[in-house]
Amino acid sequence: MTDFSPDTPTLREIRAAQAAIEGTVLRTPLVRSVLAERTGHDVRLKLETLQPTGAFKLRGATYAIAKLSRAQRERGVVCCSTGNHGRAVAYAAKKNGTKAVVCLSGLVPDVKVAAIEALGAEVRRIGMSQDEAEIEVRRLVDEKGMIDIPPFDHPDVIAGQGTIGVEILEDWPDVASIMVPLSGGGLLGGIAIAAKAINPDVRIVGVAMERGSAMAASLDAGRIVGVDEQPTLADALGGGLGENHYTFALCRQLIDELVLVSEEEIYAGMATLLLDERIVAEGSSAVCHAAILSGKYVVAGPTTIVVSGRNLPTEQIRNVAAGEPIQVGDLRVNPPDE
C-alpha cells in the first residue's frame, strides 16, 4: 500500500475509531436479503439505515469531531454535504455542544435540509453543485477559523466509515464480497482497508450511477476529473472529488470491480428494497440491488450489501409503492417494465 498518503488510516486506527464512536453510533445488524433466494448465494444486508441520522455518515463525523481538541471545537465545525454528512455533523456537533454550519447545493432534497435544521445547525444553500458549496466552506474556514469536517477525504472520516468493515468481518468471517455504494469513496475506502486487512481475499465491489459519477470518470481517466452534476435518484452519490489526498488512491488500489447503474435500474432496486425487503432506503442505497437485479453484477459467493441510508423524500416512497414515475428536478424516472 505504498502509494497512499502516510496518514491514511490502517486497521489499527479503524479499531480505535470503533471504540471512540461506541455509544453514539449504532452497531448495525447484518440481515438476510431476498436476493439470497434469487441468486442462490447467501446475501446479507448491513443496515446502516438504522443509524439515528438515517445513514452511515454518522460514523465518520462522530469520530472526526471526537478527535478535535477543545480549542478546535470552540471554533465550531463546518462542512459541505449532499445531505447525509451534514446531518451527521449536525448531530455529532450538537452532542458535543459545538456550533455547526452546513453548506449544501440546491440539488439536496428538502427532507435532508429540514432534518439538518432540526438539529440546530445553520444551513447555507449555495448554487447547484458540491463545488460551489465547497467554496463557502473554504470562506468560513479562512475568515471565521471554523474547522472543516470533509464528507469523505479525511483520515478520521475514512476510519469512522471503516468501522463498518470491521463489524461485517466480525459478524460474518466467511463473507467473500462486500458491495458498497460509491461516491467520494470514504465509505468504500474505509471498509476496504479494514476488510482486506482482516482477510486479503475479500472482494470489494463499488457501485455508482451512470449519471455523473466523478469517481468512475476519474478511475477511468487515471486521474481526478470533474463531471457535471445532474439530478439522479442516487442524490447522495453526487459531487466531485475535490483536491483529493486519500480516497482516489484508495479506490484505485482496493476496488476489485466497479459497476455503474442506470436510473431505471436504481428504481428497480428501490422497489425491491421497499416492497420485497420491506426496508426504506434511498436511491443511493439501492444501487447494489440495482447492479444485481440488472445482471450487471453476478453474485458468486457469500455477499454483503451495505445499505447506506434511508433519507429519501416521502413522495418517492409513495411513488415506488404505487409503481409511478419519480420526478427529480428535470429528470423523470419510470418504473421498470413488468
Ligand X SMILES: *Cc1c(COP(=O)(O)O)cnc(C)c1O
Beta pairing class for 331-333 and 100-104: unpaired
Query: How far apart are alpha carbons 1 and 160 in whole angstroms?
Result: 20
Nearer to ligand X, 87 or 203 (CB): 87
Nearer to ligand X, 44 or 85 (CB): 85
- CA 93 remoteness from chain centre: 19
Is residue 202 within 8 Å of residue 300, measured between CB atoms?
Answer: no
> What is the smallest separation between the CB atom of 156 and ligand X, expressed in angstroms?
13
> What is the smallest separation between the CB atom of 285 and ligand X, expressed in angstroms?
5
> What is the smallest separation between the CB atom of 74 and ligand X, expressed in angstroms?
28
Q: What's the grid cell of residue 231?
A: 439530478
Nearer to ligand X, 75 or 224 (CB): 224
- Strand, coil or helix: what is 78? strand
> What is the smallest separation between the CB atom of 111 and ligand X, expressed in angstroms?
13
> What is the smallest separation between the CB atom of 239 and ligand X, expressed in angstroms?
8
> What is the smallest separation between the CB atom of 242 and ligand X, expressed in angstroms?
11
Query: How far apart are alpha carbons 290 and 6 in whole angstroms?
Result: 36
Nearer to ligand X, 118 or 300 (CB): 118
Nearer to ligand X, 42 or 64 (CB): 64
End-to-end CA gap in the chain: 46
Is residue 237 within 8 Å of residue 183, measured between CB atoms?
Answer: yes
Nearer to ligand X, 57 or 196 (CB): 57
Nearer to ligand X, 160 or 302 (CB): 160
Is residue 237 within 8 Å of residue 213, measured between CB atoms?
Answer: yes
Strand partners, 179: 205, 305
Query: How far apart are alpha carbons 27 and 59 in whole angstroms?
Result: 10
Nearest to 100, CA basis, from 124, 82, 70: 124
Q: What's the grid cell of residue 314?
A: 416521502
Nearer to ligand X, 207 or 293 (CB): 207
Angle in degrees, CA 116, 118, 120, rounded to 5: 80
Interface residue list for ligand X (CB under 6 A):
55, 57, 84, 152, 181-188, 236-237, 282, 284-285, 308-309
> What is the smallest separation between the CB atom of 265 and ligand X, expressed in angstroms?
16
Residue 23 has what DSSP assignment? T
> What is the smallest separation between the CB atom of 41 and ligand X, expressed in angstroms?
23
User: Which residue is closest to ligand X by CB?
Assistant: 309
Query: How far apart are alpha carbons 163 and 98 in whole angstroms?
Result: 24
